[in-house]
Amino acid sequence: MARKKKQVQVEKKPFTKEDLWIYVKRYWQLYLLLLLPMIYFLVFKYSPMYYILIAFKKYSIVQKVSEMPWAKNHGFEYFLKAFKNKDFINALRNTVFLNLFDIIVGFPVPIIFALLLNELRFKFFKKTVQTVAYMPHFLSWVIIYGLAMQLFSPTNGFVNMLITKLGGEAVHFLDDPNKWVGTYIGLSVWQSFGWNSIIYLAAISGISPELYEAASVDGANRFQKMWHITLPGIRPTIVVLLILALGNVLGSGFDRPYVLQNNLVMKNAEVIATFVYKYGIKGLQFSLTTAVGLFQSIANVIFLLLANWFSRKMGERGIM
Amino acid sequence: MKVEMQNPTVNVSRLKTKVGDWVIVALCVIIMIICLLPMVNLLARSLSSNEYLIRHEVYLLPKGFNTSAYTTVFKDPKYLRSFAWTAFLTLVCTFVSLLMSTLCAYPLIFGQLKGRKIFNVIITITMFFNAGTIPNYLLMQNLKLLDNPLVLIIPGCLSVYNMIILRSFFYGIPDSLREAAEIDGASYWTILWNVYIPLSKPVLATLALFYAVGRWNGYSDALLYMKKEQFYPLQLLIYNILQNVNQIEVTTQEGFSTPGLQESIRAAVVMFSTVPILCIYPGLQKYFIQGVTIGAVKE
């Protein structure tokens, strides 16, 4: 905020050639430093946008993009095809549902954990709990998949060994499509709740201690303080993170679904990112999958803007 | 009347807090167990002998303690090679990424720099809009980066999120330090090197951790762009080991191969690959907490 004000105060003078020379002489070093990063952005983030044209053209491996013929239906042939493709519809549905489940189950957990940690009195113990809770965040999804296999295997997994020992029947956590969803969500919560609590803890530590003292004097108990001071204090943080999560409801990472899915659970496990990989990179249907990717990117931006607009309407601070 | 009522309630609430404290400690212990249990189970399996694994008797403590799984893994040239290659790759990537992040963040803190707004817009757009998997793939193809080890370094060498953390930290360094150096006639390059970088060591350590973990744990770029097995990063190799062993286990269910050994090897492979990260991150806890917190308050 302060920075923006400063910028406004700078008066705009007419810029002569001489000024330019002085300016360049003074600041060329900074532009030189920026050169490499800007080349990076232009080459690796902007130049691939040119290939988005493929979504509207009939891809052929021997032609340049500019020479490829336009697709039928005013170029929208592949978008129409995608929405007639059962696998894509399935992937789209799964992406939305899995993301919503992620939010419903996974979003409150770090908040609750942060509130819990905040109530913990013993400092050293608190630090230990934090260190342990951050650990899963540093494991890759391949490793987590390895852990899950050893933990949930129907024959020799830790959990199922316990269940069968206690007289129950083995549960197919990773092979049954419906139970797979639970495992998929659960593993994500396990991996990220500690890490995601960091932000809430920081927000909690920003709340003035005087508020708590005043509440204690008034005879408020632990839960009343939590409900009336801590939670309202971190509400802006919660809202911003919720906007980001809701804005990403059509987004899908690749690492997590790809390693966790298997042929038995595809009906619930295929998401857009893995669909694009299989149909595009493996199946070489470049036009179709570029169209799908473009649809996803645009939908993502729209959702983010909508979530942002909605939160502003509700009187909260947006993210943009 | 009121005063009389208050005293007993205060006492009761004090007693309650004490009980409440222990309830919270107990909950935290349960949470820690949930976090650690999969790792402990894995460690036990990697150190157990075949018979016990086949008989499904290994829970949280190794039975028939032996380290043969680890010695088998260490004898495997493919695994060792991939481990060393990934370690090298991680070092290079971390260095390149730190350099790029600094180069990008530092000039952008100068309010008087013309075009700064444009640069910021160029950067921010890439956070929200991505060209997509196939366009990126075609770009790599055109740049002749497919199957080239550089593809594991360059395309991911600058994360906007990490750059913003660094930029926010740079903003926090008082302008007066910079201005003093400017008056002394120091060049911008000298100011960066002698003022900003020494002051930013903690946040640079945090970024190094983020970049290093990202590279060490990443596999999808290799899955997309790298067909040569000798350049596979560790995670992709492990994924393939896990998948192949899956198949072996299924085919040998009638016969009596050694699924127990296979299992402990699998556990050892997964276990050993996490060691480097588990050794490093606790020491940097103070710093990465700061990093995450800075990153959250962009603008």
Domains detected in chain B: 20-66 (no CATH), 73-239+273-296 (1.10.3720.10)
**Angle made by CA atoms B272, B273, B277, in degrees to the nearest 5:** 105
Nearest chain A Cα distance for residue B88, angstroms: 18
Burial per residue of B65-89, b for 16 or more beta-carbon CB atoms within 10 angstroms, e otherwise: eeeebbeebeeeeebeebbebbeeb
Q: Are B90 and B210 in contact (CB under 8 A)?
A: no
Six token digits for residue A195: 């890490």
* Percent of chain B with pLDDT strictly greater than 70: 87
Give tens-digit pLDDT for A120-154: 888 899 999 999 999 999 999 999 999 998 899 88
Query: What are residue A70's phi and psi, to 5 degrees?
Result: -70, 150
How is residue A170 written in tokens? Answer: 């083995």
Which residues are within 8 A (CB) of B63 and not within 5 positions of it... i.e. 6 or more apart? B44, B48, B49, B52, B57
Question: For residue A222, which of A115, A108, A111 has the smallest C-alpha distance?
Answer: A115
Residues of chain B found within 8 Å of residue A34, distances taken between Cβ atoms: 103-104, 107-108, 119
Distance CA A297, CA A251 (A): 8
Contacts of B146 in chain A (CB under 8 A): none
**Shortest CA gap B65–chain A (Å):** 18
Q: Which of A7, A46, A277 sits opposite B133 (nearest CB)?
A: A277
Q: Residue A296: what pLDDT? A: 93
Q: B98 near B207, Cβ under 8 Å?
A: yes
Q: Is the distance from CB of B199 to CB of A105 less than 8 angstroms?
A: no
Residue B73: pLDDT band with limits 50, 70, 90: confident
What confidence tens digit (pLDDT) does each residue in B209-253 have? 999 999 999 999 999 999 998 899 999 999 988 886 433 333 333
Give chain A positions within 8 Å (CB) of B37: 151, 158
Q: What does the block give as tokens for B17?
A: 């807090």
CA atoms within 13 A on the CB side of A131: 16
pLDDT in tens, B261-275: 678 888 899 998 998
Tell me the per-residue pLDDT of A63-114, one tens digit each, with 9 for 90 and over: 888 888 888 888 898 999 999 999 999 999 999 999 999 999 999 999 999 9
Q: What per-residue confidence (pLDDT) applies to B103?
A: 95
DSSP SS3 for B234? helix
Distance of CA B294 to the CA centre of its chain: 18
Q: What is the pLDDT of residues A233-252, one digit of tens each?
A: 999 889 888 888 888 888 87
Distance in Å, alpha carbon of A114 to nearest chain B alpha carbon:
11
Q: How far is CA B264 from the centre of its chain?
A: 25
Q: Which of A178, A175, A151 is nearest to A163 (CA)?
A: A151
Q: Which residues of chain B make contact with A221, given a CB cutoff of 8 A?
A: 13, 16
Q: Which residues contact A230 (CB under 8 A, 6 or more apart)?
A: A115, A118, A204, A207
Q: Do B32 and A145 touch (CB under 8 A)?
A: no
The pTM (predicted TM-score) of the whole model is 0.88
Q: For B95-148, how does the pLDDT look when each residue is reduced to its tens digit (9 = 90+)?
A: 999 999 999 999 999 988 888 999 999 999 998 888 999 999 999 999 999 999
Question: Which residue is closest to A149 within chain B, CA to CA?
Answer: B242
Helices B116-128 and A17-40: crossing angle, nearest 10°? 20
CB contact under 8 A, B242 and A48: no
Q: CA B63, CA B52: separation in Å to the nearest integer?
A: 6
The span from the CA of A163 to the CA of B54, in Å, is 17
* Residue B146 three-state SS: coil
Asked whether the beta carbons of residue A38 and residue B24 sit closer than 8 angstroms, the reply is no
Query: In the structure, what pLDDT confidence band is assigned to residue B297 with cuts at 50, 70 and 90?
Result: low
Out of A103-117, B13-27, B32-46, B97-111, least confident range: B13-27
* Statement: residue B56 has pLDDT above 90: no
Quick one: tokens of A280? 């595009």
**A186 vs A191: CA distance, rounded Å:** 9
Largest CA-CA distance found in chain B, in angstroms, rounded: 86
B141 touches chain A (CB under 8 A): no
Find the closest chain B residue to A118 by CA distance: B24
B280 half-sphere exposure, CB direction, 13 A CA radius: 16
Q: Give the chain A residue nearest B115 (alpha carbons).
A: A31
- Distance, CA of B35 to CA of B48 (rounded, Å): 22
Q: Mutate which of A12, A42, A147 to disrupt the B interface (most B C-beta within 10 Å)?
A: A147
Residue B138: list chain A partners with CB under 8 A: 48, 51, 54, 286
Question: Rounded to an integer, what distance in angstroms lies between the CA atom of residue B191 and that of residue B146?
Answer: 39
CB contacts of A43 in chain B (<8 Å) are: 139, 143
Q: What's the confidence (pLDDT) of residue B257? A: 46
Residue B150 near residue B86 (C-beta atoms within 8 A): no
Res. A52: pLDDT tops 90: yes
Please tell me the distance in Å from B261's CA to the nearest CA on chain A.
13
Q: How far is A53 from chain B (nearest CA, A)?
A: 9
Chain centroid to Cα A96, Å, comes to 13
Question: Considering CB atoms only, which of A47, A116, A199 is closest to B292?
Answer: A199
Q: Which helix (H) or strand (E) holds B205?
A: helix B201-217
Helix (H, G, I), strand (E, B) or coil at A301: helix
Residue of A nearest to B56 (CA): A156
Residue A189 has pLDDT above 90, yes or no: yes
* CB pair distance less than 8 Å for B132 and A290: yes
Decide: helix, strand or coil at residue A252: coil
| Distinct helix (H) and strand (E) counts, chain A | 17, 0
pLDDT in tens, A192-221: 999 999 999 999 998 999 999 999 899 888
User: Which class is A77-313 in CATH?
Assistant: mainly alpha
- Asked if A34 contacts B155 with a C-beta cutoff of 8 angstroms, the reply is no
- Sequence letter at residue A265: V
> Rounded to whole angstroms, what are the CA distances from B12 to B16, B26, B285?
6, 21, 38
Among the residues of B47-132, which ranges form H helices?
50-54, 68-75, 77-105, 116-128
d(CA A146, nearest CA chain B) in Å = 7
* Cα gap A4→A229, rounded to integer Å: 32
Q: How far is A182 from chain B (nearest CA, A)?
A: 16
Residue A174: both structure tokens together: 């990773």
Whether B157 contacts B96, CB under 8 Å: yes
